[in-house]
Structure formats: C-alpha cells, structure tokens
Structure 1
Amino acid sequence: MASRGILSRATRIKSKLQSALEAAVVEVEDVSYQHAGHAAVKNTGTNETHFNVKVVSDKFDGQSLVKRHRMVYDLLSDELQSGLHALSIKATTPKEAGLKN
C-alpha cells in the first residue's frame, strides 16, 4: 500500500471501511472546510479533519447503532490518532438502506 502521505485521508477511510466491512456502499465526504477556523483543527497539522461517512453493510445486521459506530471507529483508530477530529456516521444494513427486500 502507498505511504500515508500519498493517499488522501478520504481515500484511506473508504478503503478501510470497504475492505473490513465488505460494504455494499461506502460514501466519504470531506467537510473539513466547514471547520477551518476551529482551534482543534489548527493544532492538527492537517486539513483533512472532519468527514461524513455513509456505510451500508451486512455486517451491521443485528448490531445496535452504538455497536455499528464502534465498529467504524475501531477500523479508523489510526486515522483518529493522526489528525482525524470528527466523524458523522450513517451505518445501515442493505435492507435498511432499501437495497434488499
């Protein structure tokens, strides 16, 4: 895999979630620009700090919302330790997303 500096954080997030959760859908939106002046962002040394993430995966079946979010946070722990400041997560099953009957 390419070194950390070559791939954007959004690309790394999408790849990690897609691979580990075998997701039917992974959408990653960088909304860092909305937080550009915040103190927490100024101290990170990166401008890729805030993301909206939508993940649709069978692996969420039978899991509570808290458990689903924990799964995502656990997969992105290295990103959270290296400047990722905030995630907005929408985690659903294919059925909940209307992809399966």
Structure 2
Amino acid sequence: MLLSTNVIPTGILIYVCLFPVLQWVKKKDGKELAVVNGYTFYCHKSNVKTKTWSCTKGGFCKARLIITNEIRAAHRTVVSAKLEHVHPPPAFIISNGYYVKI
C-alpha cells in the first residue's frame, strides 16, 4: 500500500490513498465492509440507488464512499470517494473473506 502523508496547518496528519483498491469482506455477524487500501468502511446509509460507506474509525475522520446499490459486489460502481483519513489504517487480517480485527 502506498500512502502519502501531509501535515495541514492545524497540525493534523492526513493519510491519502494514492492508488485505491476496493475489496469486499464480511464481519462475523455477516455485515459487509468495504476495504480501500487498508482502511475499512461500513454502510452508513442507503437509498434506492446508492449506499454511503463511512470510515469505521468514525469521529473526526470524514472519509466516505458512495457506491451504487447493487446486490452483487461485482456490479457495484464507485460514484464518489473521499479517501483522506486523519488516522493510520486499522490492524486486521482477512481470513477466507472474513474481516478479523487484531
């Protein structure tokens, strides 16, 4: 994973994914997560056409994805993405398609 870091005037470190790669995984409870270059996103809200996926870190991180609302992951399209994070990626592994926090 290639990350770019910048310090903005407020002193907050910004992590930006330079080459985004989207992967779909499931949690133990069956809920889906989107993984983009090591950062995880959960489905924050949904409407008929799109779903908004927010960074799982929450709080001050405003990273978001808006993706078409297709049942099959292979048919989904990213409508927009804001991939600037104010924290490093979470520690996790993916085992047999399932997200495991470490």
- Point out the structure with the larger helix share: 1
Larger relative contact order, structure 1 or 2 (CA cutoff 8 Å, min sep 6) = 1
Q: Same fold (TM over 0.5)?
A: no
How high is the TM-score relative to the length of structure 1? 0.26
Greater strand proportion: 2
